[in-house]
């Protein structure tokens, strides 16, 4: 009798698999093409999805299936867009239905309590959050932060001059990026990454990126939320970390409140000051406002520093580009001062380098998935409601039609009577485009221009061979945010080194004095 029950069970299971597969295949027949569903296991494409550098797999699918690809992961439909046209058509022109987020159970709900804008679904709450962030990060608002960005960049040049190796360079660069975003968020700066508040925020940043890019079982099988809470093992750590985050963010917001009460912070522009002025209008309680004010940190610290790492890496690989930029700066700015924001219109080649940095190696290769709130049809292909929709930004940056010889670092493509089409997609698409893009591009320009003015950027000498280290232009690391794995560079002060050193020190000293008003 037992063998018969076993056989019956196997037959029933097989029949269930076949029925489910046929149902999925009928749906897939009307959807964009993609890899074949697995016969066994979950009957999906989970086996086809790598844990790291997923954009490389997306690119292979583009080559095999075309500009719009669909896969099934667990119970979730995933749509991958491989061209600017497809991404623009859906994420921008149809932004009213493609501007939400797929449910982020671990990172968005359990860990963040639905208060991080990056994971909020499209709706009134998100629009209020966006209004607050835009008021502090718009192209006009970003001009308010240029003085602090410039003084931080002057200090950074001095720190780079004193740095012994790349590890120290990276440390100083991270401090610069953190100080800039803290100024944007809260109107203050930091002198060192060892500051307790910075250490706490960096731990938050690392943990958030970790769980955001993780593929937790509950994301694909939300039915697990029906378990008793004490059995939901996946929520234990995120809930503990959320309590820590709330304490940190509330502490930062309370600091701004205190400075305003003492009349020391009322004139200093920041997202927090703006948020406190309009808190009631946007319907945010204190905890929601505290999380909103942390958005510049969450979005800008890592991306800004990685973009500058890419700049340094590109200069190592392209010394001829660096030489042309130095010639332009010496001719326009001279050697008696460092470049400033007012010089951007007279430094077109340096500006083109910054544009090429963002295209050549986008620091966010795919970004966070959009989600369509209603079903849609695009060029005859059915896209079910609630799909995860990714834009393969890395692939788009290598479009050989828009950007001939895309693997080459060529600032010239942005110059002349017929420049390449602007590649603003490093910051995403549509209504979910990064609101801090203007802050980031300003930071990249001011740092790049000052480093070009100050230093020759050379490859480190390999002690074993006595020759410059051989560089691999594709040696990148990171998933959600990426950058060069290593930038083995040596910075040598240019021109009359003693005169240049003295000027760097003098400008850094003046900047430190100016920075006192931003230091709590």
How far apart, in whole angstroms, are the C-alpha atoms of residue 55 and residue 62?
10
How far apart, in whole angstroms, are the C-alpha atoms of residue 312 and residue 320?
13
Phi/psi for 103 (5° steps) reads: -55, 120
What's the token pair of residue 234? 């996946």
CA 414, chain centre distance (Å): 23
Q: Within the chain, what is the greatest distance between any pair of CA atoms? A: 95
Residue positions counted in the chain: 520
Q: Is 489 annotated as a binding residue?
A: no
The 10 Å CB-count burial string (b at 16+, else e) for 95-119 is eebbbbbbebbbbbbbbbeebbbbb
Distances (CA, A) of 56 to 47, 50, 327: 15, 9, 37
How far apart, in whole angstroms, are the C-alpha atoms of residue 289 and residue 150?
28
The answer to whether the CB of 75 falls within 8 A of the CB of 82 is no
Q: Rounded to 10 degrees, what is the CA torsion of 431, 433, 439, 443?
A: -170
Hey, which residues does 461 pair with through a beta bridge? Answer: 468
> Which residues define the annotated binding site?
434
Q: What residues are designated binding site for heme? A: 434
């Amino acid at each position: 009798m037992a063998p018969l029950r076993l056989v019956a069970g196997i037959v029933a299971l097989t029949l269930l698999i076949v029925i489910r597969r046929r149902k999925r295949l009928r749906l897939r027949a009307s959807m964009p093409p993609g890899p074949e569903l697995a016969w066994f296991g979950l009957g999906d494409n989970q086996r086809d999805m790598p844990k790291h550098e997923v954009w490389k797999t997306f690119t292979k699918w583009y080559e095999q299936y075309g500009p719009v690809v669909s896969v099934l992961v667990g119970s979730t439909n995933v749509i991958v867009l491989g061209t600017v046209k497809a991404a623009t058509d859906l994420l921008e022109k149809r932004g009213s239905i493609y501007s939400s987020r797929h449910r982020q159970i671990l990172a968005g709900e359990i860990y963040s309590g639905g208060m991080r804008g990056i994971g909020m679904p499209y709706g009134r709450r998100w629009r209020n959050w966006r209004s607050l962030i835009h008021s502090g990060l718009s192209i006009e608002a970003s001009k308010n932060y240029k003085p602090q960005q410039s003084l931080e960049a002057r200090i950074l040049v001095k720190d780079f001059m004193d740095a012994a190796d790349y590890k120290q360079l990276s440390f100083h660069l991270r401090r610069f990026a953190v100080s800039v975003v803290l100024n944007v968020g809260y109107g203050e700066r930091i002198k060192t990454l060892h500051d307790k508040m910075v250490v706490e925020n960096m731990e938050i940043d690392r943990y958030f990126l970790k769980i955001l890019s993780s593929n937790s079982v509950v994301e694909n099988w939300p039915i697990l939320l029906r378990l008793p809470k004490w059995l939901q093992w996946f929520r234990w750590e995120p809930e503990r970390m959320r309590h820590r985050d709330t304490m940190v963010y509330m502490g930062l917001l309370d600091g701004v409140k205190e400075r305003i009460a003492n009349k020391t912070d009322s004139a200093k522009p920041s997202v927090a000051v703006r948020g406190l002025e309009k808190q009631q209008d946007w319907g945010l309680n204190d905890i929601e406002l505290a999380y909103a004010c942390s958005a510049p940190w969450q979005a800008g610290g890592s991306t800004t520093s990685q973009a500058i790492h890419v700049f340094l890496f590109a200069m190592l690989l392209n010394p001829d580009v660096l030489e042309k930029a130095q010639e332009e700066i010496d001719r326009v700015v001279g050697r008696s001062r460092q470049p400033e924001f007012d010089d951007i219109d007279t430094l077109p080649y340096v500006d083109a380098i910054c544009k090429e940095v963002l295209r050549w190696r986008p620091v966010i290769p795919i970004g966070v998935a959009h989600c369509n709130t209603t079903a849609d049809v695009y060029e005859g292909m059915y896209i079910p409601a609630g799909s995860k929709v990714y834009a393969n930004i890395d692939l788009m940056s290598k479009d050989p039609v828009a950007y001939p010889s895309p693997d080459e670092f060529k600032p010239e493509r942005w110059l002349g009577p017929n420049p390449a089409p602007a590649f603003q997609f490093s910051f995403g698409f549509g209504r979910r485009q990064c609101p801090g893009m203007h802050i980031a591009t300003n930071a990249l320009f001011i740092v790049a221009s000052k480093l070009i003015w100050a230093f020759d950027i050379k490859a480190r000498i390999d002690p074993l061979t006595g020759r410059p280290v051989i560089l691999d232009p594709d040696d990148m690391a990171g998933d959600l945010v990426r950058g060069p794995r290593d930038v083995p560079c040596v910075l040598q002060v240019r021109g009359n080194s003693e005169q240049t050193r003295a000027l760097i020190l003098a400008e850094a000293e003046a900047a430190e004095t100016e920075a006192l008003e931003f230091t709590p």
